[in-house]
Amino acid sequence: MKSQIQSSPLILDRIPVLAETDILVVGAGSAGCAAALAAREGGQHRVILLERYGFPGGTSTQMLDTFYGFFTPGEDPRKVVGGIPDRVVDSLDAAKAVFLRPNTYGAGTGVNYNPERLKLVWDELLEKSGVRTLLHATLVAAESDPSGRLTGVVISTRQGFFRIRAKRFIDASGDADLCHLADIPYEKAGDIDPAQSMTTTFRMSNVDLAAYESAGGKKMLMQRMSAAMDSGSHPLPRKAGSLHPMNAAGCISTVAVRVADLDPTDFQQLGEAEREGRRQAFIYEQFLQDCVPGFEHSHIIGLSHHIGVRETRRVHGEYRLTRDDCMNVTRFDDRVLLCGAPIEDHRPAAGGGEETAWAYVPNGQAYDVPYRTLVPKGREEIWVAGRCFSATHDAHASCRSMAQTMAMGQAAGTAAALSLETGIVDIPTLQHRLRQQGALLETPSKKAHTGAADWKLNHFDI
C-alpha cells in the first residue's frame, strides 16, 4: 500500500515546504551516512539526510558492533575497502572504541566497535562536513513531475507533514522505501528465493569469558545448543548462533535469534517478528545461564532497537549483480567498490536446512561491484545504496556487509554530486574521485597483518 498523498496534488499543495536542497539522502544507515558525506565532499552541494529514528547508523548502531567486509576472509586477508569507511573507523579508533576481531574464515577479520560511540562519530562527521541531518523524520510519500521524474518527498514529523524538494536523490533506506513510493521496480525478498531470516540481537553483561573459553568456547557452545534442542530442555529456534565479546569488559553480543517467513515490509508482520524475536532472546538467555559455563550470573542488558532485517526490496538497476559474478570474480570496467565476503545465507531452506549456508569467493579474491547496480533502471535523478542495491538474492547475501554498504554510499554520493556538476556520470571521472577519497578499486596484492594493534592491520606486509 502506498501513501495516498503521492497521488493527490490537492493535498500536496497544502503541505508546507520545509527545504529545497541539491541532494536528498533517505536513511541514515551506514550507506546513507557515507552517501551524505561523499555528496558533501568539496562542499559545493547542499545535502539533506533524512532519518526516521533519533540517531544515525541504521543497522550499524541499532543492533550490531562489528564491521565486516573491510578484509577478505582466509589466511591471507587483504583490505579491500577504503576512503570514507576508513575515516569512520579512524574516528572510532581515536576514541579507543575499536578493536579487530580475527575471524579467519566466517566473514573474515571484523572491525569491532562500540555502537553507542559510533552514533556520536556519525553525528560528528556529518555535522563537520555540513550535512543537514533531519532526525525523527520519516519519508511517507514521493513527488514526481508529469514525466515521472522524482522532484521531492513528503516527510512525517511530530509537527505534521512537510515537503522537501531536491535535484538528486539517494535511496539508502535499506528497504527501498523511496523507490517503492516512486513506483521504481524492485524484487522483494521471498518473491523468487526464500527471504533471509530476521534476528533480534541481544547483549549480555557479567559474563565470565575466561571460564567460557576454558570450558571449550565456541565448540562447547555448539554442542550444548545441540544437546538442548535434542533433549527439549530449552526450545531454541535452532542449533547454531554466535556470540562474541564486546567493547566493554564482561559483555557479549549475539547473532542467534531466527525469525523467518514474516514480511518486514508489512507493519503488522514486522510487529509480530519483533515480539517473536524478543521471546526467542529470553529463551537463549535462560539456556546460556543454565547450560554454558561463564554465563551463570549473566543477564540480557539490551535488545536491538529494531529486529535485524537482512533483505527486503532489491531495486532493479541498470545491472543486477549475480552469484556467478561473485563466484567467478567477474571484472567490470565501471567498478566502484570491491567485495571479498562470502555468500552468507540465513534463509532456513538453504543447503544446511535450518542453518546458515556459506559459499566463499575462490582463493580469497575480491570481485568488482559495478556502478550500474546503484542506478535504478532508466533513471538519472536517483541512486540506491546499501542493502536495497540491485542484486540477486545470492549476490546480495555476499555484498551486504557494512564495509560494502558504506562503500556503496560513498560511490552513490560521489555520483550524485558529479551528475549535478556535469549533467552526466562519466565513469573514469567517478572512479578518479573515488580513488582521491581513498576508495580501493583494485585488490591489493599484499597480505595484511592480522591481530595488529592498528586497526588497518599496519597496512600491508612489506
Nearer Cβ to ligand FAD (109/293): 109
Q: Which of 11, 20, 132, 138 binds ligand FAD (CB under 6 A)?
A: 138
CB 171 within 8 A of CB 388: yes
The angle at the Cα of 255, spanning 205 to 180, to the nearest 5 degrees, equals 125
Query: Which three-class secondary structure state does DSSP give residue 268?
Result: helix
Q: Which of 236, 402, 415, 434 binds ligand FAD (CB under 6 A)?
A: 402
Cα–Cα distances (Å) from 376 to 1, 56, 176, 418, in that order, read 21, 25, 11, 17
Which element (helix H / strand E) includes 407? helix 402-422
Q: Is 182 in the site for ligand FAD (CB under 6 A)?
A: no
Q: Which one of the spans 55-63, 81-89, 162-170, 324-332 is the region binding ligand FAD (CB under 6 A)?
A: 55-63
Handedness of CA 239, 245, 246, 252 (dihedral sign): positive
* Cell, residue 83: 576512503
Q: Is 344 in the site for ligand FAD (CB under 6 A)?
A: no
Interface pattern 239-258 for ligand FAD (x via CB under 6 A): ----------------x---
Q: Which long-range contacts (CB under 8 A, 24 or more apart) does 421-424 make?
A: 421/44
The DSSP annotation for 237-249 comes to S-S--EEEE-SST
Interface pattern 271-310 for ligand FAD (x via CB under 6 A): -------------------------------------xxx
108 torsion bin: left (phi>0), alpha (psi -120 to 50), beta (else): left
Cα–Cα distances (Å) from 245 to 203, 208, 284, 399, in that order, read 10, 10, 16, 25
Interface pattern 34-53 for ligand FAD (x via CB under 6 A): ----------------xxxx
Q: Is 28 in the site for ligand FAD (CB under 6 A)?
A: yes
CB of 406 to ligand FAD, least distance (A): 8
CB of 71 to ligand FAD, least distance (A): 11
Backbone angles phi, psi at 406, to 5 degrees: -65, -40
Q: Which of 21, 30, 103, 431 binds ligand FAD (CB under 6 A)?
A: 30
CB of 108 to ligand FAD, least distance (A): 10
The DSSP annotation for 411-455 comes to HHHHHHHHHHHHSS--HHHHHHHHHHHT---S--SSPPPSS-SST
- Rounded CA-CA distance 392/270 in Å is 23
* Cell, residue 25: 539522502
Nearer Cβ to ligand FAD (243/417): 243
Nearer Cβ to ligand FAD (202/212): 202
Backbone angles phi, psi at 326, to 5 degrees: -70, -50
Q: Is 152 in the site for ligand FAD (CB under 6 A)?
A: no
CB of 48 to ligand FAD, least distance (A): 12
Q: Is 177 in the site for ligand FAD (CB under 6 A)?
A: yes
Q: Is 84 in the site for ligand FAD (CB under 6 A)?
A: no
* Cell, residue 442: 583494485
Q: Which of 6, 45, 58, 98 binds ligand FAD (CB under 6 A)?
A: 58
Q: Which of 103, 109, 114, 199 binds ligand FAD (CB under 6 A)?
A: 199
CB of 447 to ligand FAD, least distance (A): 22
CB of 387 to ligand FAD, least distance (A): 4
In DSSP terms, 25 is beta-bridged to 49, 170
Nearer Cβ to ligand FAD (404/437): 404
Say which residues have a Cβ less than 8 Å from residue 432's Cβ, sequence separation at least 6.
none
What are the strands, taking DSSP E only, across 8-64? Answer: 17-26, 47-50
Q: Which of 85, 108, 174, 294 binds ligand FAD (CB under 6 A)?
A: 174
* Cell, residue 65: 558492533
Nearer Cβ to ligand FAD (293/348): 348
Q: Is 437 in the site for ligand FAD (CB under 6 A)?
A: no
Q: Which one of the spans 71-79, 226-234, 399-407, 432-440 is the region binding ligand FAD (CB under 6 A)?
A: 399-407
Which element (helix H / strand E) includes 349? none
Applying CB under 6 A, the residues found at the interface with ligand FAD are 26-32, 50-53, 58-60, 64, 66-69, 138-139, 172-175, 177, 199, 201, 255, 308-310, 386-387, 400-402, 405
